[in-house]
Structure 1
């Protein structure tokens, strides 16, 4: 006997409904949830079964069944989230769409981005209404993030090389992320810091007195999280060579050493090349230009800055260097490696998505 399941609701679209669903599904400013629901309904309208639609769109079968039934019952209004308890809505879907579209696709005449006040004046709603709409759709016109695209002609090869070391490190070898944190300033406040008290945060003067600078050379073991650190007052190939000697002494002789470095000139001088040639167990892997985020030691530098340097008070360089050494010692007593999860393909796919959003990117 043939297996019978729950009968699917018959779904037939009008021309206007089909046009609206296609517009919502294609508009890049639609929420991902709404766009998916529109695609589900459009596929169901072709006569496909819930199982086939679920397989095509990569969702669960019960998800398709729910939105099919919601659309048959409530039509286009059924694709929005269920209303919450409370008074009747005073803002229509058309007004919400107008706010979202204007926020994403236009700017005011006298500013680079919308504020709640300017948008409220533009569309005739209250500032609190604009705030609620922006919060619902995750819109933050006042914020801006930064990025930089690498122009390295070997970008793809280098990304695959470095990420491969993170996800599948070679046997009988250590993978070390190496870099220098330069120009670390010893800063003393112009007046004593006032300690935190109940109901009052720590207070300090906004101005400071410079006591000199230093440079930290660090190598992060990607497997254990341990750090080899060395401090020098200058940042040259001479100091980098001394740091390589330090690494050579601390890593057991039977292990190869894979160094992940950036493209700083101090890493590529003839003296460094001769040293690496004389020590064949060292293998250098360069990150792409403008891609410091690919080097895990940069994340460790951020922790050092947040936990020790930024709010530290140091009258001289010696005091600063002592605190840095103590912090490294404390870190190595309970090291925590960073877990890399993104594959090279996922990184490159994300980059491709950025390029598609940039007009005239040439890609």
Structure 2
């Protein structure tokens, strides 16, 4: 035997040894169910496939090649599964600063944009709204972009007289940002 590999079950392997991944029957059933589901996120389905293939004793390199992912991706999900079992396959909280502006404050900016004009101009600019609302111009730009507000474009921008307009816009934008599964959204114009 050469010093280049180790033998496990009669197969020469090289590289870092990996801990055996053994699934309980309930875990295997859960993972297989996730792979078969049509409504599960693609990333979760991929993670479940990785764990199932690793549990079958297949090397990470081969699993990566079969599933079209990087070998480090296989190693990451294998380690997380061994550490936290099924909970390790869930997404972790992303790093970063939490949101500091609430929904009510955003609604107030939208309401002010739609229902009023500054005293010295015909429409709000990003900087004039930022000064009036007490937020940075970057924050106002993000809010306006998220809700598609463009008060400087008079040919396409019209003030709505609907008192529930902000709530309706929030609902519609919510449908686009986080659509429910198997939903059909229809839009009807009054014209």
Structure showing the higher strand proportion among its residues: 1
> TM-score by structure 2 length?
0.46
Q: Higher Cα Rg: structure 1 or 2? A: 1
> TM-score by structure 1 length?
0.25
Structure showing the higher helix proportion among its residues: 2
